[in-house]
Amino acid sequence: MGLCCSKPDIKDEESEHHVEFGAGNVHLITTKVAWDQKLEEARSDGKIVIANFSATWCGPCKMIAPFYCELSEKYPSLMFLVVDVDELSDFSTSWDIKATPTFFFLKDGQQIDKLVGANKPELQQKITAMADSLVPDRH
C-alpha cells in the first residue's frame, strides 16, 4: 500500500520525507471546526472515533501511518482521524499530548481509551475490540 500520500503543496526536498496521514478512511483534521464536525458526525452515526495525534517529523508516526490507514479500511464502522500536533498545537495541548503518536478512542465525544506510542499489536487489539463492541449480539 505504501505511504498514505504526501502533501502536494510542499515542493522542496522535504516533500519526499513528509507523510500525509489522511488517506484510506483517515480524515486529516486541520481545524477545531473540522474536529467538532467529525465528532458530531460520529455521534450521529453511532461510530467510535480513533484520533491519532501525530507529527510529520516523528519517525514512529511515519512508521505506523500506513498501518493506521490499513486499519481504517478494514474497520469502516469506526471513524479514523489524524491531528497534526504542530498544525493544531493549542488544540493538541488541550489533550495533554506528551508523546507522538498518541491515539485516543472516543465514544460520544468522551475518551474511553488511550494508547501512547506506535505499538502496532496493541493498536490492532484495541481497534478490533472497539469494532467488536459495536457489533450487535448474534445470539
- Catalytic residue set: 58, 61
Strands 79-84 and 49-54: parallel
Which of these, 137, 22, 129, lies nearest to 77 by C-alpha position? Answer: 129
CA dihedral 16, 20, 25, 31 (to 10 degrees): -160
Phi, psi of 69 (to 5 degrees): -60, -45
**14 by DSSP, 3-state: which?**
helix
Q: Which residues contact 103 (CB under 8 A, 6 or more apart)?
A: 50, 51, 52, 53, 114, 115, 116, 123, 126
